[in-house]
Amino acid sequence: MEKLYEDEYIEIQYDSENHWIYSNWQNYQKLHTVQNGGEKMLAFLKEKNCTKVLNDNRLVKGTWSFASDWVAKDWFPRMIEAGLNQFAWIYSPDAFSKFSTDKSAKNTEGDIIMTFNSIEEGKAWLKSA
Residue 12 scores a pLDDT above 90: yes
Residue 8: what pLDDT? 97
Number of domains in the chain: 1
The DSSP output letter for 14 is E
Measured CA to CA in angstroms, residue 92 lies from 8, 20, 38, 119 at distances of 17, 20, 17, 11
Q: What is the CA radius of gyration of the chain?
A: 13
- 90-118 pLDDT, tens digit per residue, is 999 999 999 999 999 998 887 899 999 99
What CA–CA distances, in Å, run from 5 to 10, 17, 38, 55?
A: 8, 18, 12, 14
Please tell me the pTM assigned to this model.
0.96
Report the CATH number at residue 27. Answer: 3.30.750.24
- pLDDT of 74-88, one tens digit each? 999 999 999 999 999
Q: Which residues pair with 11 in a beta bridge?
A: 6, 24
Question: Can you give the residue range of the structural domain that contains 71?
Answer: 2-128
**What does the alpha-carbon distance between residue 123 and residue 113 come to, in Å, rounded to a whole number?**
13
